[in-house]
Structure 1
Amino acid sequence: MNVLLQQTLSPARSVCGGLAVRVAGEACVLRCSGTLHVTGPDVLVFADLHLEKGSAFAVRGQMLPPYDTAATLARLAAEVEAVRPRAVVLLGDSFHDRAALARLSPDDRDRLHRMAEGREWLWLEGNHDREALNPADVLDLPGTVVGDMRLGDLFLTHEPAPGIDAPGEVAGHLHPAARVAAYGRGVRRPCFVTDGARIILPAFGAFTGGLNVRDPAIAGLFGVAPLVAALGRDKVHALAWETVR
């Protein structure tokens, strides 16, 4: 990591095994789960749950194990319980398609309501779920549906703006992943990518996959070599750009 990036991010190990950094001057923790905890306002941010992706594939005749929503919501509940934030923000593509809410089981719907109880709960619209979220009040979804939003000096949105000039942007959509050499073999892990001015979050959902950070769609968003923060089992690993492939 170059000196300027080190000064901008001020990285430090968090007690949870995550990485404490500053993005646009705001204190944040990159958590091992792939969530972003903005500590000042106490907001926990998730990206790209893609709930009901398995059932969407099943409708089209491609059979995937129908457990992705339950697995993702179990991880979501564990994170909310561990952090107990004042507010939760979901950065869009929380649902995989326009009919996903209708396919959500009553048990999964109840679990969402329990998680949202006693805290602010905000759904940002993504390209996959913009239409799904329109009738949210009819389909009894907890919380509030919003477009983009400001959080201090941060700007929370689903899809990153093109170009390198997006100060304070916190986005998902691209599902960044990094490939590194370890123990004589290649390991591919979801990751955060940040230059201290903006940050791209990894996808949180069970069936989401990932796009290599070297892809121009991600690499082209940064004017300087960014920090890649790969998710490990109990630690977020800070990786220099030149070490990822």
Structure 2
Amino acid sequence: MDDQRILALYDRQLRRAAPPDGPGHRVERDGPVVRQTGPTADSWNAVVWSALDAGTADAAIARQVAYYAGLGRTVEWKLYSHDTPADLGERLVAAGFEPGAPETLMAADVHRLPAGPPAPDGITLRAVTDEAGLDLAVAVHEQAFGTSGARWREAMRAGLAERPGVYHITLAMDGDRPVSAARLELYPGTDFAGLWGGGTVPGHRGRGIYRALIAHRARIAAARGHRYLQVDASPDSRPILRRLGFTPLATTTPYLRQA
């Protein structure tokens, strides 16, 4: 792929022209800043795009701080390695933001990904469509990541109910036991679909389940007319994604300012 062209397309379609994260979410433009504001305090509130320089950055940051402080909301500034100015991260820290763990923005052309692999022997893939499926997906999340899945469950329930056809959750089952779960979000009107989640419980890792879930979601995205898959890859998943044909485009770091 032409990495710079794909990164520019990603910036244009999913950042500068960011689609709302769900019903009730507002995409707002404040001069050179694009932000997303949710309907409740628990919603994702974030700055998703900025075009700043050394002379405009501090004032733009201060406006976003004041805006979300006035709403009593926690806000994330999603910073990418090619954003300007080069010291934007330092300026965010000075304004009270705390950096999280960096991830790698990766992308792949769905038509150039390997056709397989199939699910390993004994593993079946199942779409989540009801509360029972959500229970199983949450169980996977809690075992895979060691954290409560309560908030994640509400987000998944809302996604399935409010965005049918564009929000997909897939379970990998070993018999009656859920052993992995992953999410696909289609972005209508864009070339992209997003891969999210992908947690596998201990004891079932290293068997190719994660790769099978990627291939499964790639087929869904291609069938719906999306050309590229994008993912914010953790250090653990990045080597697997590279082997499957994903290309690193940038580094992304969440900077969080608490309410």
TM-score range, shorter chain: 0.3 to 0.5
Greater share of helix = 2
TM (norm. structure 1) is 0.32
TM (norm. structure 2) is 0.31
